[in-house]
């Protein structure tokens, strides 16, 4: 008496196809879930107060909660290494003006992808995206993994 059963080739192919389809569908997610793109069509200017600047990062990007007069926004700034490199201090209670692209996050939260931050008390303006809306840290000689850091000291 044989303990092992043989599997018919047609059943094996069908089972493999369904298994592959299930794996493919479970790993598929919306495009914005993996990357964030700046959309000039949704650009707005919001003034408010920084809250929860020590909140956990959103998709490995530094963020804070902005409390405006009417609502709360999650403002996505830049990678943490870049925020440290340009010496950007995001302290609770500071009034800022954010120019950014509005979108809804994966969790349904209203988000702003910051193009620039203007600190109202000091007037300091920090530009995070260039005229073509590309992140300035991508063109920077101060990249986190760049060997040019040897020659270019951070501010």
Q: Is the pTM of this model over 0.85?
A: no
Which tens digit of pLDDT belongs to each residue from 56-84?
677 788 999 999 999 999 999 999 899 99
State which CATH number among 3.40.50.620, 3.30.70.141, 1.10.1740.10, 2.40.50.140 fits the domain covering 38-150: 2.40.50.140
> For residue 15, what pLDDT is reported?
57
What pLDDT, in 10s, does the model give residues 83-123?
Answer: 999 999 999 999 999 999 999 988 888 999 999 999 998 99
pLDDT at 107: 86
pLDDT for residue 26 is more than 50: no
User: How is the chain split into domains, by residue range?
Assistant: 38-150
pLDDT at 58: 74
Q: What is the structure's pLDDT at 99?
A: 97
What's residue 3's pLDDT? 63
Q: Which residues fall within 8 angstroms of residue 31, CB to CB, at 6 or more apart?
A: none
């Amino acid at each position: 008496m044989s303990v092992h059963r043989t599997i018919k080739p047609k059943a094996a192919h069908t089972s493999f196809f369904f298994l592959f389809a299930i794996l493919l569908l479970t790993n598929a997610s919306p495009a914005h879930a993996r990357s964030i793109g700046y959309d000039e069509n949704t650009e707005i200017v919001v003034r408010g107060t920084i809250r929860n600047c020590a909140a956990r990062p959103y998709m490995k990007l530094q963020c804070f909660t902005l409390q405006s007069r009417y609502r709360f926004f999650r403002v996505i700034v830049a990678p943490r290494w870049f925020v440290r490199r340009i010496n950007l201090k995001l302290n609770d209670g500071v009034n800022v003006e954010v120019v950014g692209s509005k979108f809804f996050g994966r969790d349904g939260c209203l988000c702003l992808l910051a193009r620039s931050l203007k600190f109202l008390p000091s007037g300091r303006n920090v530009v995070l995206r260039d005229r073509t809306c590309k992140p300035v840290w991508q063109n920077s000689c101060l990249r986190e993994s760049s060997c040019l850091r040897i020659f270019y000291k951070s501010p």
